[in-house]
Structure 1
Amino acid sequence: MAETTFPARPRSARPVRFIVWSLHLAAPLAGLWLLLARPHLDVEWHHGPGHFWLVLGVALINVAMGLWMGVAARRREDGRLFLVSLAFLSSAGFLAVHALLTPGMLVADAGIGFDLSHPVGLIIASVFAFASSLDLNAERGARAMRAERLLWALLIVLMVAWTVAGLLGTPPLHLPAQARDVEGAMVPIAAASALLYVVAAVRYFLMFRRTASAVLLSLVTAFVLLAEAMVTVILADKWHLSWWHWHVLLVAAFGFIAYSAYVQYRREGATAGVFDAIVLEETARRIRAEYEEAIEEFVALLGEGERTGSAPPRGADFAAFAERFRLSEGQIAVVERAAAALAAERATSRRLAALAEVARRTRVGDQDEDAFVRSVLEVVRPAYGDVNIGLASDGRIRVEDRVYPAGLGEEAGTVRDGRSVRPLVVRGGTAGVLEGPLREEEDSTASLAVLAGQLSISLENVRLYRELGTLFRQYMSPDVAASLLADPDQAALGGRVLEVSALFADLRGFTTFSEAVEPAEIVRMLNRYHSAAVPCVLDNGGTIVQFVGDALLALFNAPARQGDHAHRAVRAALAMRDASERIAEENPDWPRFRIGVNTGPALVGNIGSEELRGFNAMGDAVNVAARLQAMAEPGRVVVGDATLRALGEGVRSRSLGDLVVKGRHGTVLAHEVLSAGAAVETP
């Protein structure tokens, strides 16, 4: 909806402005009072030609104004604007009838048709004005528009019949003229009409408070002046200055509307939106939606140029669009600038989002570089256009059928085959190139430079993480490595007490076996067993703390928190038992795993010195797990009572009773876990 932006004023100045406006509207009533209170000032001036041309000229101009409003109402399909147009057509139309019946012009003598013509027009207009100011919803507005032809026909027929009867002196307009235009029973009707104008003015003023508009303010002023004209009609004698006074009020009322329409036209640059401030809220929302759609179409056109690398579209390219939305050249220029700004903002947002996504995809872990590049292109092409990436290989960088030297360097981007080329630099050397479309925008080169910088960092990180996978992650648990990479402070010496489930496993008979075979056979056996055991721990979320010869220690619930750590530890132990038993079946002379699991508090953290440290756990819970493992038979899983209680139902177990554990005061209640998924076996 077209709105007027008024100059900003301090709040203290607003009451003053309202007072000045009110005094302007009160001045005509003060002048009327002066003329009526001082009869010697209210002189008679009878001049037919002056009345005829003044009134007819004003009437015809405002009939055109009413027709203009009607066309706008039909185009917008808005009931409020249509009712306002009828208010102006009825008042201006009967004002023209009043001019035609001026005595001494087209008729010899004045009759009652001359007296009542314009008061009747003002009364009819007051009804339309009041109706237009009501809270009309879309349904009531639609009903008003459906009655458009009927109301137009009735109004035209009434004005034509009044004119013909007045000119010919036929009943009921054959009666002689009165001392005043309104007398007798017409007085209360005219007073009620003035009240309707006042109510309409107040309601439109409230609309103006919500949406400041020159047209709305002039409409308020016009209705107040028409109410004052109605009062003047009731009180003034014909052809006296007080009677001429209401003619001046009509000129002022219609003049305010005409001037505000002109101001709005100058501001809009077209006639389409001059009266949009008057329309219903539903119509205003529809107009705003149309203009939003206009912006979106502009953005789409600009975006298409951006994606293809062609020149941005200009005014001539929007001819069909301008015709659709009835935009002037000035409006096209404004919307085009707004669309360009919006398109630039959206492009920047898309590019920032693409950069963030590229950084996110540079995740910790082994990644194939070619797969990473393909993944990155899926992200950046919708935001940057037709970009390509080539990586260095055998001293050359190939992008489709174009070949670049690996020594491209860090110099500013070059242009090749109409495309901007940027090097991807890793550790001071050219690791690849980024090709992008060459555009006219000033920031296109800069945006490609930013993208090349981010891709260089990401590519370097991908290679670094891959190196870490070889040099770092294979020497410790993936959970510990990921935790240290995410938060290096976790590498500091120290720790804290956590409840953990510790899993100890070693090979029963390892010492005897190692005495009887070659060292190579020992290494082959250990690697075979550990290759089967490690996945069992990792697949259940465990952290392998250390390998000590034939033994391993794994923790659950540290460093990553796990609410079901006891279940995970037992599942890992059973899987490890089954895997090692399959290996032992193939190699009967090899030793076999025995496993102990215990749950309880332990001190977990980094233990060692500033020069060398390791992630470990200490405490009674860990020691008991080691002792349970030492007491277990080959191919068995023994758990502490706390672990079994944490498992709950669904685990088959056999109680081993209270066991005396070496190096610990008191006994330990132990259980052998047979399997998971069945009822718990009672001793």
Structure 2
Amino acid sequence: MQFRLGPTVGRCAFRERMLGESRMAAHRGSMLRTANWLTHLALPMLALWLLMKRPAVDLEWDNRIAHFVLVLSASAVSVALGVVIARAARARDDARLWLVSLVFVTTAGFFGVHALFTPGVLKDTSDADFMFPTRMGLVLAGTVALASAATFSPARSAGLWMLRRLLSGLVWASMALCAVVVNFGLLDRLPDQELVERVEHDAALIGGALFATAAAAYFPIYRRRPAVVLMSVLTAFVLLAEASVALAVGMSWHASWWLWHLLMTTAFCFIAYSARVQFHREGSARGLFDALATRETVAALRSDYSMALDAMVDVMQRRERGEQVPSGAVTIRLADRFGLSEQQVAVLKRAAEALGAEREQLRRLSKLVAVGEELSVIQDEDVLLGRVMSAIADAFPRDDIGLAVMHAGELHSNDSPAPGPTASGAVTLKLPLEVKGKIAGMITVRRPGGIFPDADVALLRSFASQTSIALENARLYRHLDDLFRSYMSPAVATALLADPDQAGLGGAIVDATVLMADLRGFTAFAEAHSPVHVVTMLNTYYGAIVPVILETGGTITQFVGDAVMAVWGAPARHIDHALRAARAGLALHAAVEQAAVEHDDWPRFRVGINTGPTLVGNVGAAQMRSYTAIGDTVNLAARLQDLAKPGQVIVGHGTVAALGEAARVSARRRVKVKGKSEPVEVYVLDAIR
């Protein structure tokens, strides 16, 4: 006989292996994408190396107008990016977004100054003055880019946000100063032009190092938040770093020199293109650059979006329950709050539907888990089925749930779905409960006006499967419990089930009343009759007297042939244990006479009862033990039984004292019994008042 456990939801080893392979495949895919990205970014540096290695291919193209248009256009794109990101920064009060916007505004400003002073277009300038704005702008923009990659605590973010106007003013002042220097040719007036060239060369390399470091610092942020805009900014910083290197080593108006213009233009256009793609995908400009924000801003956004999603889920769940809740007002409020487009609202609705379905499934699975937990709980079958049905009803509140249990070969419905006005359009699903391969019951689920999706059918079948196992376990337990109690007194069985530690060897001295009874003349009767006849007589007698003892709260400790021993006051404690034992002794004779009414030749019982301190507990060995009572009180009860005549109850002085006025006794006398040095007082118990 074996208790069953619930079915495993999945094959764990297979699932873990598949998950591991999926993770490895995703890791390999990520490594390949990273390698591909690095390869593309390395191509400009490879081209620059080739141009420096082979000056013959580093062709000259002195087109001032093309330079003016290209650089000014790139500057305009960068300004537009800076403005858009600055607007997002103001909407979120986010310091990092503002710094990123400042990077593009700075590069755009200095790049624009560089374009305006293109030699021979608007003004004739020298190479030193002409290249100065770009080098200065790269250093300042690289510094801001590196600062934007820092970790922002709430205090640092708030402080930087307070200083944003001052810092912006300093950047614009630097642009103005740069324009003044170039316009008046101040660098050309310096005596050491070689020093000026070295400083400008080193400034370009410093700017490149700053942008490269900023890109490296942004990479962990991208790993945490793999968003397109983050990858775009990271790529732009790498391109600006490469442009700085090309600026430092390229020859003016040669291919190597044009390369850094192309790299800077590509950096700005790459981000603009990514933002445009994201805009067309989402249908709204709001939130395009949220991935660049600080952790606090991202956490706040997630909280806001989670609240919005919860609001949508709540509305949908309430509407599913039949409530008249308009979703339009909620949709409009969310769209206004988050600046969502119709497309984004539609996505939010789909997400809410998916989340609502997932939550509902998780809620139902929790009810299934609760049913599974019932497998290990020992309980009555009716109580078990009541809890299971309650769990199923909670999991599927809109459905009508019914249960029928098999009794005597027929299904008897405990609570079947009641017919209602929608019964004609209802769909009913019947789920059999099987115990040991046989139908033990049926769960009926009726869904008014709807169908059962595959997921619901699978879950309901799991409920039925778990219920079948729980029902089988309950019946096995009940069978074992009945067997257990039939081999020992129910009081002892109950005590052991409540506290298994009581099964240990040993005992305790308690005040108890012991009853000893045997058949006078049993030996002669057994000699004169067949064993079958003797056993029939004993079973008939015990079938009559055992209920009498148990009904009065007694504990039968042993049957020895024709003798029976019972104790009151242990293990169940009773203050009136003597009164209970006395009533049982008198009722025992009445039950015996009733059982032997057609058998005058059957011997009759004689009963001895004694009250006093008694050692009760488990006696035996670890492999075999029994609950019994021992001691002088027990021995005297046995001696009193020997003194009794058939149909008579002899009680000791301790019992009479405990009974008091309730007992009517006669034939008081003092007798000498075996094991006692002095005579003892004995009484014949006639009745209990």
Correspondence 1:416 to 2:434: no
Correspondence 1:351 to 2:359: no
1:293-332 to structure 2, matched below 5 A, reads 293-308=307-322, 318-327=331-340
* Structure 1 position 152, deviation (Å): 3.0
Correspondence 1:385 to 2:397: yes
Q: Distance in 2 between matches of 1:75 and 1:351?
A: 41
Q: Distance in 2 between matches of 1:635 and 1:283?
A: 89
- 2:66 aligned counterpart, secondary structure: helix
Q: Which moved more, 1:92-101 or 1:184-193?
A: 184-193
% identical aligned pairs: 28
**How many residues were matched structurally?**
570
Q: Distance in 2 between matches of 1:208 and 1:336?
A: 28
Match of 1:119 among 135, 158, 161: 135
Equivalent residue number for residue 457 of structure 2? 446
* Structure 1 position 387, deviation (Å): 4.8
Q: Distance in 1 between matches of 2:548 and 2:240?
A: 104
Gapped runs of 5+ residues in structure 1?
405-413, 487-496, 513-521, 538-542, 555-567, 606-615, 638-658, 668-683
* Structure 1 position 182, deviation (Å): 5.9
- 1:533 aligned counterpart, secondary structure: coil
* Structure 1 position 45, deviation (Å): 1.0
- 1:134 aligned counterpart, secondary structure: coil
Equivalent residue number for residue 279 of structure 1? 293
* Structure 1 position 122, deviation (Å): 1.8
Q: Check the 8 A contact 1:111/1:174 in 2, yes or no.
A: no
1:452-491 to structure 2, matched below 5 A, reads 453=464, 477-478=489-490
Match of 1:61 among 74, 77, 82: 77
Q: Distance in 1 between matches of 2:622 and 2:653?
A: 29
Q: 1:349 to 1:203 in 2, by over 3 A?
A: closer
Equivalent residue number for residue 7 of structure 2? none
Listed one character per residue, the Cα deviations across residues 103-126 of structure 1 (whole Å, up to 9, x for unaligned) are 454446679765433322222101
Which amino acid in 1 is paired with 2:145?
A: A
1:71-470 to structure 2, matched below 5 A, reads 71-107=87-123, 114-156=130-172, 158-159=174-175, 165=180, 169=183, 183=197, 185-208=199-222, 212-236=226-250, 238-265=252-279, 270-308=284-322, 318-327=331-340, 336-355=349-368, 357=370, 379-387=391-399, 416=423, 437-439=448-450, 442-443=453-454, 446=457, 450=461, 453=464
Equivalent residue number for residue 640 of structure 1? none
Q: 1:387 to 1:441 in 2, by over 3 A?
A: closer
Q: Distance in 1 between matches of 2:61 and 2:97?
A: 40
Q: 1:660 to 1:271 in 2, by over 3 A?
A: farther
* Structure 1 position 511, deviation (Å): 8.6
Equivalent residue number for residue 33 of structure 1? 52
Equivalent residue number for residue 679 of structure 1? none
Equivalent residue number for residue 60 of structure 2? 43
Listed one character per residue, the Cα deviations across residues 250-282 of structure 1 (whole Å, up to 9, x for unaligned) are 213323333444455566665444434433344
Q: Check the 8 A contact 1:193/1:230 in 2, yes or no.
A: yes
Q: Check the 8 A contact 1:233/1:246 in 2, yes or no.
A: yes
Listed one character per residue, the Cα deviations across residues 69-117 of structure 1 (whole Å, up to 9, x for unaligned) are 2223333433223212211110012212332333454446679765433
Q: Distance in 2 between matches of 1:141 and 1:579?
A: 85
Which amino acid in 2 is paired with 1:45?
A: D
Q: 1:269 to 1:27 in 2, by over 3 A?
A: farther
Q: Distance in 1 between matches of 2:331 and 2:102?
A: 36
Q: 1:50 to 1:246 in 2, by over 3 A?
A: same
Q: 1:221 to 1:375 in 2, by over 3 A?
A: closer
Q: Distance in 2 between matches of 1:365 and 1:12?
A: 56
Equivalent residue number for residue 652 of structure 2? 634
Q: 1:391 to 1:136 in 2, by over 3 A?
A: closer
Q: 1:240 to 1:580 in 2, by over 3 A?
A: closer
Q: Distance in 2 between matches of 1:248 and 1:423?
A: 72
Equivalent residue number for residue 580 of structure 2? 580
* Structure 1 position 59, deviation (Å): 0.8
Q: Distance in 2 between matches of 1:365 and 1:438?
A: 37
- RMSD of aligned C-alpha atoms? 6.0
* Structure 1 position 348, deviation (Å): 3.3
Which amino acid in 1 is paired with 2:86?
A: G
Q: 1:229 to 1:15 in 2, by over 3 A?
A: closer
Q: TM-score, normalised by structure 2?
A: 0.62
Which amino acid in 1 is paired with 2:395?
A: A
Equivalent residue number for residue 645 of structure 1? none
Q: Which moved more, 1:154-163 or 1:187-196?
A: 154-163
Q: Check the 8 A contact 2:519/2:563 in 1, yes or no.
A: no
Correspondence 1:531 to 2:531: no
Q: 1:628 to 1:352 in 2, by over 3 A?
A: farther
Q: 1:451 to 1:157 in 2, by over 3 A?
A: same
Q: 1:241 to 1:448 in 2, by over 3 A?
A: closer
Q: Distance in 1 between matches of 2:323 and 2:108?
A: 57
Q: 1:19 to 1:366 in 2, by over 3 A?
A: closer
* Structure 1 position 54, deviation (Å): 1.3
Q: 1:22 to 1:462 in 2, by over 3 A?
A: closer
Q: 1:207 to 1:472 in 2, by over 3 A?
A: closer
- 1:60 aligned counterpart, secondary structure: helix
Q: 1:198 to 1:573 in 2, by over 3 A?
A: closer
Q: Distance in 2 between matches of 1:75 and 1:569?
A: 81
Q: Check the 8 A contact 1:98/1:117 in 2, yes or no.
A: yes
- 1:252 aligned counterpart, secondary structure: helix
Listed one character per residue, the Cα deviations across residues 162-198 of structure 1 (whole Å, up to 9, x for unaligned) are 66x589x569799799999963654544443333223
- 1:597 aligned counterpart, secondary structure: strand
* Structure 1 position 524, deviation (Å): 11
Q: Distance in 1 between matches of 2:220 and 2:463?
A: 57
Q: 1:438 to 1:454 in 2, by over 3 A?
A: farther
- 2:197 aligned counterpart, secondary structure: coil
Listed one character per residue, the Cα deviations across residues 506-529 of structure 1 (whole Å, up to 9, x for unaligned) are 4479999xxxxxxxxx99999776
Q: 1:545 to 1:271 in 2, by over 3 A?
A: farther
Q: Check the 8 A contact 2:286/2:339 in 1, yes or no.
A: yes
Q: Which moved more, 1:442-451 or 1:18-27?
A: 442-451
- 2:652 aligned counterpart, secondary structure: coil
Listed one character per residue, the Cα deviations across residues 555-577 of structure 1 (whole Å, up to 9, x for unaligned) are xxxxxxxxxxxxx9756466453
Q: Which moved more, 1:196-205 or 1:321-330?
A: 321-330
